[in-house]
Amino acid sequence: MGTTLLPGGAGKYVLGVDPACPRCPEPLTAPHMLLHCQNYKAQRDHLEAALPMD
């Protein structure tokens, strides 16, 4: 039998744990990316600017 190569983010599905954030020691979860991490601040600012404000 051969081995199966899994993509880098497959650990969450195989092991049941979130991968670590590349900049912080926190798990790389959606709330961490969307609310807290300074590594993703530029993306958050870009997305916030694209939202229509009424």
Q: What is the pLDDT of residue 44?
A: 86
How buried is 51 (Cβ within 10 angstroms: 0-12 exposed, 13-18 middle, 19+ buried)? exposed
pTM for the predicted model, two decimal places: 0.47
Q: What is the pLDDT of residue 33?
A: 79
- Residue ranges per structural domain of the chain: 18-50
Q: What is the pLDDT of residue 51?
A: 87
pLDDT tens digits, 10-47: 555 556 666 788 888 888 788 887 888 888 888 889 98
Q: Which residue in the block uniquely carries the two structure tokens 């590594």?
A: 39
